[in-house]
Structure 1
Amino acid sequence: MKILVVAHESEFAGGANRALFAILKYWSTNKLVEYEVLLPKANGECIDELERMGIKYHVIKYYKVFSETRNQIQDILRKAKVYSKFVYNKRAAKKISRLLKENDFQLVYSNTRMTSMGACVAKELNIPHIVHIREFGNENTIWGPANIKWINKNSIAIITISKALKKFLVNFVNEGKYYVSYDGVSYTHKRVIIEKKDDFVNILLTGRIAPAKAQDEAIKALKILKDNGYKKIKLHFAGSQTGNSKYETEYYDNLKKMIEDYGLRDYVKFYGEVNDMKKLREKMDIELMCSLKETFGWVTVEGMRSGLLVIGGNTGATPEIIEDEKTGLLYEQGNAKNLVEKIIWAIDNPQKVLEIRKRAYLNSYNSFTIEKNAEEVLDIIKKSLKEKK
């Protein structure tokens, strides 16, 4: 079997391509399947990695086909651009398919739904298409013609990275096409987990500063803790401090204002991008996952593998990773007071927290492996092709 793998970009800018390349490396190392990769740019970290791996790749310009409305007059232009990029991708697919027809691909596997290119190439080559969906999107997302109904129509199988994402999309996809495979997390951190001896609590949030990550909830909780006499506590933010949009810049500025207004300047530290997360996590006690709706939760798994107590919101895929009071603590996302209650419980119950951390550490290594993910995805591809015949 020979597969054409379609990536949405040529960089490792987010988790999607990192997860993809973990799968590809496992396939190559174990010689499980023959594949080539299609990318939209001729330079980037993904290109460098493919060359190191000795994997053949193809390059033609194509676009991501989504945007977001922002309640501005420019939304009309944003929608028009999404449609024009979709049309451009169809033309690019015709062009590249003429060059790929002699390669005898049996299937196209798209790594995300962010680009329509994989489905368009599969249609031109008259072969099946499978898509690995890794993102929720939200009510403001503009998907244009390449919406989930279009993806369903142009795919023989759809893989999601959590049950929560499957549930989110289930009304638009034929049930028999749906599969769930959790990402394999490469992050490892060998750490002896011992009971905390001092009474100072360091709490970490990892990820870019953005409204979807709900860092403001942690700051609200910190204020409540301080007001109730918990002053031996510090909140640490690791992640880029501004995104590309004015919206994210305003959000970061608002966080800084909240910190000043609440008198928390000495209780909060921003690190920006951190190169050595293992070293930083060794100084931490708790990691928070406050996101509105995580599609999976790499950071959640990384926190567990670092021996930390992870406290996460009860939305998205976080409850699929955290079993409350077994492998972490769950709080009512959006309820800062409930988050405070969970943090206080952790402070007051160090022995129970020690047992939770140990269970989480072991479970994170057993449940979210690259080997399992890569083999599941390949099995889904084989099964879907067999059923197609």
Structure 2
Amino acid sequence: MRILFISNYSQLYGANRSMLLVIEHLKNMGHDVVLILPSKGEICTELIEKGITYHVEKMFTQLFYYKPLLKYLVLPLLNLQTWLKIPHLVKFAKEFAPDLIYSNTSAEMVGIKIARRLGVKHISHIREFMDLDHGAKYLFGTKAKKKYINQSDGVIYVSNAVASHVNLRKPLQSWQKVIYNGVQCCDVPFVEHKLSDAINLGIVGILDPEKGQDMAIKYFKNIVGVYPSAKLHLWGDKEGLYKKKLLGMVSNWGLQNKVVFHGFEKRVDVIYGEMDILLMCSHCEGFGRVTVEAMQRGIPVLGYNSGGTTELIEDGFNGYLFLSEDEFKQKIHLLLQSEKHFNQISKNAYEDSRKKYSAEVYCKNIEEFITLIMRK
């Protein structure tokens, strides 16, 4: 089978990492795969190393999505740029002659258009809420967005939360399916933690209000009195006003020796190497790849009780969920009540995540869904 993938960005964040697993798996299974990117980026290095063909066509892949400040300023120009690129994309696609076009996350608008021009099948892989997590709304409203996405022959949702929101709480049909992301399990055995006062908390993700680093710092400030040797590690970066705000919070509260900004780091073993607890503070996480990455290393997660996080964490079994600062403090005290309890939660997280969210299970589910759609 010949499959043409389209991605909406060119960095190595969670959505593209998950897509790469699928592309590499399908390539190894003997399928011909090509990826279209809107620009060159760090993903290109990975593609070259894996021997995966890619094509760069500069464009705005999130056709018809807008953020309030962009609506009247640059959205018409960005959409016009994309419309002008469609003939070039169709020409490239014809030369590849795909049996299937597979759009990753918010690139589905472009993918559907190309698929219709070529008369081939299309799958949309919806990994984000878009409005709730990125503040990006569909130009013609939520009903029109649902109708447009459902022109696809198959739709994959990354979680039940995303499926319910994007499909407007309607029951899923046979050509719509929730498939949780998979993460390549690290080859490390479960090791019990030796707890001490020097607890290392971590939060991983691009510095953005939707990721909740400000919440993590605020809540951390109020538990330092109980755990004076604790530290909070921020992994990820993005220059701008939000980063300045975070640095200001740390400075104003005298936490310079307690909160560490590590910047962007793609080596996951470095990120999780010294971490005792992961904080997932995103209010609307579609799935939560970093949640699974931590759990697969036996690191318990304290997560905000919403979105896909709620589906990954079973409160009191493989982690804890919270909705308020008081609940956050209560749950962290429960988690740290004893070394025995901490290690039981840690072990549950390790075993549960490896069973449910392995790369093998994920890729198998995707391949089976593709086969189902192609037989329709």
Q: 1:310 aligns with which of 293, 301, 309?
A: 301
Aligned to 1:25: 24
State the alpha-carbon separation in 2 of the partners of residues 143 and 86 from structure 1: 16
Q: CA distance change for structure 1 residues 239 and 48 in 2, over 3 Å: closer, same or farther?
A: closer
Q: Does the residue aligned with 2:131 lie in a helix, a strand or coil?
A: coil
List aligned pairs for 1:70-149, cutoff 5 A: 70=68, 72=69, 75-100=71-96, 103=97, 105-114=98-107, 116-138=109-131, 140-144=135-139, 148-149=145-146
1:5 has 2:5 as partner: yes
Which residue pairs with 1:260 in the alignment? 251
Measured against aligned partners, the alpha-carbon deviations of 1:71-123 in whole angstroms (never above 9, x if no partner) come to x5x640233234324422433344335534xx3x3322212223533212111
Equivalent residues of 2:8, 2:38 under 8 A apart:
no
Specify whether residues 349 and 26 from structure 1 end up closer, same or farther in structure 2 by C-alpha distance, changes over 3 A only.
Answer: same
Structure 1 position 345 matched with structure 2 position 334: yes
Amino acid at match of 2:27: S
Helix, strand or coil: the match of 2:149?
helix
AA paired with 1:318? T
> Residue 132 of structure 1 contacts residue 160 of structure 1 at CA under 8 Å; is this kept in 2?
yes
Do the aligned partners of residues 172 and 118 (structure 1) sit closer, same or farther apart at CA in structure 2, a change above 3 Å counting? farther
The structure that has the greater radius of gyration is 1
Residues 1:209 and 1:308: Cα distance change in structure 2 (over 3 Å): same
Deviations 1:130-185 (A, max 9, x none): 11111111163143469623533431111011111111112287831321111111
Question: Are the counterparts in 2 of residues 189 and 305 from structure 1 also a CA contact under 8 Å?
Answer: no
Judge which range, 177-186 or 266-275, deviates more.
266-275
Tell me how far apart the structure 1 counterparts of residues 54 and 242 of structure 2 sit (CA, whole Å). 39
For residues 277 and 3 of structure 1, what CA distance do their matches in structure 2 show?
29
Name the amino acid aligned to 2:125.
H
Say whether the 8 Å CA contact 1:209–1:215 is kept in structure 2: yes
- Structure 1 portions without partners, runs of 5+: 243-248
Runs of 4+ in 1 over 6 A off after TM superposition: none
1:303-355: CA deviation from partner (whole Å, max 9, x where unpaired): 112222211111111121111111111111xx122111111222223211110
**Equivalent of 2:167, from 163, 167, 170?**
170
Counterpart Cα distance in 2 of 1:219 and 1:152: 38
What amino acid does structure 1 have at the position aligned with 2:200? N
Pair 1:320–1:229, CA change in 2 (3 A): closer
CA distance in 1, matches of 2:93, 2:20: 23
Would you say the 8 A contact 1:202–1:285 is kept in 2?
Answer: yes
Q: Which residue does 2:290 correspond to in 1?
A: 299
- 1:256–1:59 distance in 2 versus 1, CA, 3 Å: closer
1:64–1:85 Cα contact (<8 Å) kept: no
Matched, 1:193 2:184: no
| Residue in structure 1 matching 2:322, options 320, 331, 354 | 331
> What SS class does the counterpart of residue 205 from structure 1 fall into?
strand
8 Å CA contact 1:160–1:181 kept in 2: the answer is: yes
Distance 1:142 1:158 in 2: 19
2:252 and 2:55 map into 1 onto residues whose CA distance is: 53
Distance in 1, Cα, partners of 2:87 & 2:73: 21
Change (3 A) 1:174 1:381: farther
Unaligned runs of 5+ in 2: none
The equivalent residue for 1:236 is: 233
Distance change (3 Å), C-alpha of 1:158 and 1:326: same
Query: Which residue of 286, 296, 311 maps to 1:320?
Result: 311
The percent of aligned pairs where both chains have the same amino acid is 29
Distance in 2, matches of 1:241 and 1:144, equals: 27
Partner Cα separation in structure 2 for residue 19 and residue 175 of structure 1: 22
Distance 1:195 1:368, change over 3 A: same
CA-based RMSD of the aligned residues comes to: 2.7
Tell me, yes or no, if the aligned pair for 1:8 and 1:111 is still in contact at 8 Å. Answer: yes
Which letter maps to 2:227? Answer: Y
Match of 1:214 in 2: 212
> What is the SS of the residue equivalent to 2:340?
helix
Asked if the contact 1:65–1:144 (Cα under 8 Å) also holds between the matched residues in 2, the reply is no
Q: Aligned in 2, Cα 1:77/1:23: closer, same or farther, shift over 3 Å?
A: same
Query: In the TM superposition, what are the counterparts of 1:149-160 in structure 2 within 5 Å?
Result: 149-160=146-157
TM superposition shift of 1:197: 4.0
Q: What is the identity, as a one-letter code, of the residue corresponding to 2:153?
A: I
In structure 2, the CA distance between the partners of 1:3 and 1:276, relative to structure 1 (3 Å rule), is closer
Aligned pair count? 370
Distance 2:325 2:298 in 1: 24
User: Structure 1 residues 385, 308: closer, same or farther in 2, change over 3 A?
Assistant: same
